[in-house]
Structure 1
Amino acid sequence: MTRHAFRALILPAALAGMIPTAPVLARAAHAAAAHDEASLIATEDAFFAAQISHDFATVDASLGDELVYCHANGRRETRGDHLAALRDGHLDYRRIDPSDRVVHVYGDVGTSRANLTMQVGERTMKASVLGVYAWRDGRWQLVSWQTTPLPDA
């Protein structure tokens, strides 16, 4: 096939949207990269920071409607319960430091397991946590959280 014949076939197909063009491919690559392990870690770090700084809009956007949030004391909260506890000061996160974090992405579902050192009010505690996230509307949302207290070292 000559170069001219190739152009005669490819150019009309690209213009008709049948063959992805460079901007389409770039957006697709960005979208695919945007929901990888690094983006899940960034989302979780932003969620921790938002709880500490009382950025309720970011916390709100980070939570899925079906959230089940289980605290180290066994208390189980819905999305609304968790937001209310943060807003009314019942939960006063002052520090959240993750370590030993392991993150996996399985399609549109991601998991994050870590150990946290947290200061909640005047109390400092260590816990092992497991978060489950769903990729929706171009962002990760937390849909399940389980906290297990760790003994003091």
Structure 2
Amino acid sequence: MIRMISFRALPAWLLLVSAGLASPAIARPASAVAKMHDEASLIAAEDARFAAQVHRDFAAIEAGLGDELVYSHATGRRQTRAEYLGALRSGGADYRRIDPSQRSSRVYGDIGVTRAVLAMQVGERTMLSSVLGVYVWRDARWQLVSWQTTPLPGA
């Protein structure tokens, strides 16, 4: 006779481990995991990406972008990681200033979500946008995997 196992009876962490979806961080104390990738480190990573964009530090930009990146601009244009990096290198997106405000961040395991209002100068154009970023913690750093920009009135 085969006995069926109810998934409800198993702890959630056991299900994740058996499915191969659990982070290696599960084996570490929660305090150690929090220090590695908490909300403050997520905001710091986003700030570093903004600075790299303004200073055209392509090595830093590349390190902070996941291979699966989808970057959605305020115009509605969507770019892959390769397309976005190509636009930055060609000068098509000349970020001169990025000033975030009204920021918030949340970390859910190895996923981080940020929200902010950005006052930006791109080339000669000044913009005010609401942004949403989704990051994944991998290779001991936050990597941006999705970015959504919505234009705001007043810029």
TM value normalised by structure 1:
0.80
Are 1:150 and 2:145 counterparts? no
Provide the aligned C-alpha RMSD in A. Answer: 1.5
- Distance in 2 of aligned mates of 1:121 and 1:83: 17
1:111 maps to which residue?
A: 113
1:18 maps to which residue?
A: none
**How many percent of aligned residue pairs carry the same amino acid?**
69
- Distance in 2 of aligned mates of 1:69 and 1:30: 31
- Distance in 2 of aligned mates of 1:59 and 1:81: 13
Kindly indicate whether the alpha-carbon contact (under 8 Å) linking 1:31 and 1:138 is maintained by their aligned counterparts in 2.
no
Shift of 1:35: 0.2
Which is greater in Rg? Answer: 1
Deviations 1:13-46 (CA, angstroms, capped at 9, x unpaired): xxxxxxxxxxxx89x8555312000000000000
Are 1:139 and 2:138 counterparts? no
Q: Secondary structure at the match of 1:152?
A: coil
- Distance in 1 of aligned mates of 2:84 and 2:32: 32
2:77 maps to which residue?
A: 75
2:4 maps to which residue?
A: none
The residue type equivalent to 1:45 in the other structure is D
Q: Secondary structure at the match of 2:62?
A: helix
Match of 1:40 among 39, 42, 49: 42
> Unpaired runs of 5+ in structure 2?
1-27
Q: Secondary structure at the match of 1:95?
A: strand
2:7 maps to which residue?
A: none
2:124 maps to which residue?
A: 122
> Unpaired runs of 5+ in structure 1?
1-24
- Distance in 1 of aligned mates of 2:114 and 2:31: 23
- Distance in 1 of aligned mates of 2:42 and 2:98: 16
- Distance in 2 of aligned mates of 1:90 and 1:44: 21
Match of 2:87 among 77, 85, 88: 85
1:21 maps to which residue?
A: none
Equivalences, count: 128
The residue type equivalent to 1:51 in the other structure is Q
Q: Secondary structure at the match of 2:82?
A: helix
1:22 maps to which residue?
A: none
Match of 2:67 among 62, 65, 74: 65
The residue type equivalent to 1:75 in the other structure is R
Shift of 1:139: 0.4
